Structure 1
Amino acid sequence: MTAEPLTAAKLFERFFAPHYPPDALADLAAARATDANPAGNPSILAQIEDAAAVFARLAPGALGLPDLDLDRSDASVHRLGAALTRERRDAWLSPAGAPPGAPQAGRAGEPPMLVTLVTHGALYVGSCVVKNHGGRWQVRSPLWESLVRLQSRAGTGDLAIFQWWLKALSDEEIGRGRLADRYRTHVEVPTFDAERLPILAAGDRRIPRLAKVRYDTLYKHLRAHLPELRSVGEDFPSPERFEEMGFKSLEFALLGGGRMLLMHGATADGVHLFWLDASGFVKSAYYPADGFPAHVVQVEGEKVRVIVSVGGEAQVHEMLWWGA
């Protein structure tokens, strides 16, 4: 018989729910919306910081990575995300001090290592947002449910970092670095100071569409219309990979007052976007799409909107101009 998948909901129900007060479980939505520190008691915030410090000190050993540097930098979240593998997660499911595979009920008062790591790890990642990006704790009970309110050019959002952990450790996402991906998407990208990028070209310059797309024709096109871009960069798709994509055409837009170039085009399976700055390739995105109607890219203020058709239904993807 195939084991039941460990979804984020199942992880919560099986391992974390037993550690919640009955009234909180009776109405989780209300508990997650209720301020547990309305008076701004600094001792409660100190408890959060202490828990984050405990995680930074003990997690490297629990992960079997004694040299893992958890220094509360953004980079440390990426290192942590890469360490969340299926093998490690499965080992943490047994009660603390029990051999892997032992019954989850285990010894009274000794939760699985998974619970200890995630409840403290959520506060560690939140502390990185607070320290590096000016986030503010929105305290909840229990403490690991606390949110971090982040103001950025994308707006104001409350980051549910405990939920990030549950999703990243689910069967669907385990081993894919999704904790770091969410941190990048919801923290690093919105707070990136894009105005510090050097101007590549005048923002009102129009670069014509490239109808016959090959690596060599793209190179000549950029040399003719954007000579300031000396190279597409080492991380741009190789000539072989670029040919495999089979672009029907490529279109171009200068973003951020000429600080970045956006290239986008359709292939047989979807739409690819590439962001380049003065140093070349920065990032890319791909959206599955029907062959008809053609995709649309709209640039409005600080936002880029990509509209594609999937199964005959329009889907809209919106991001800041420096990319997702």
Structure 2
Amino acid sequence: MKKLLVLLLISALAVFVFVGCDLLPSEGEGEGEGEGEVEGVVVEVEDEVVVGGKTYVKSGTRGITVTFPAPVEMAVAYITPCTGGIEKEKIGPSGEPIPLWSEDGLVWTGSGTFGEEGYDCCSSYVLVEAGECEPDVCVYYPVIVDSQPPYAEIKITTGGCICEGCEIIFKSTSEAQECAEAEPCCGDDCSGLAGWSIAIYDGDPFDVCCETPCKEPIFTCSGTACPVDCTSTCLKDGIYYAVVNLVDNVGHEVEYYAKLVLTSSLDAEGEVVCTLAVTEYCADVLGCTCTSFDDSAIVDTDEYIGFCYPDDNCCSEVD
């Protein structure tokens, strides 16, 4: 009986030695990227959007919320330099930590500035430290910072209607490339284009209001992708105002403005012949919120409006 008990004891010890010890990681195991991170920590940046599996944030000051799986005594965040690299250097844009505040130790909030001058689309990490995991970083949260607006160069033309009146036609352009397909002059080079819209008014939409036009448009159209392609209903001769709006996925917007003088006549065969004079304007009111449609805000008088590159269309920056 004693021999049986001894054999059972030896067997149990063998199981512990050859199996149980494997439960502990050997030296160096589990090291590398992510070392020190605490599972269950959730980081959210104000107005962040996920596109193609990547998190994008709009440049500027944004709220940061960090939620821990259990209460912690202290938490602080850093934003790494927005250079496109993956260095986990604990430095914010100003070189200072971002204070976080909490009432329950679980949810911590604060705000930090994303983006750096000279980078239109770059990546940063939000680094979070807490008393329970200091000096190791609790979590590395990668974001892509979008600092530029969408863009489109749009050609505005006209065509006669079958019965009477004229259509106004808006189409984004493209740039010819040597030994390659033409490059569309429409899009967003970071988070991506979310949508575009065109509104036509029969009077100045900003004569009283600015951020939101006071007048109702007589025609609208919209889309969610490039190219911009829109044809109005048949319009009679007159002066019209067009406002083209583009917005990207993080909320950057740009507006292009045009005054359209539409005239028509009949040719010898009785066909409607339409003529359209296009005057483009930049934004010069309330910090580039809208345009005055004054002569001082005229950009050009050809049939194109907008740009083939990102630009906020502010008069102070438009050549």
Length-normalised TM-score, structure 1: 0.28
Higher strand share: 2
Q: Which has the larger radius of gyration?
A: 2
Higher helix share: 1
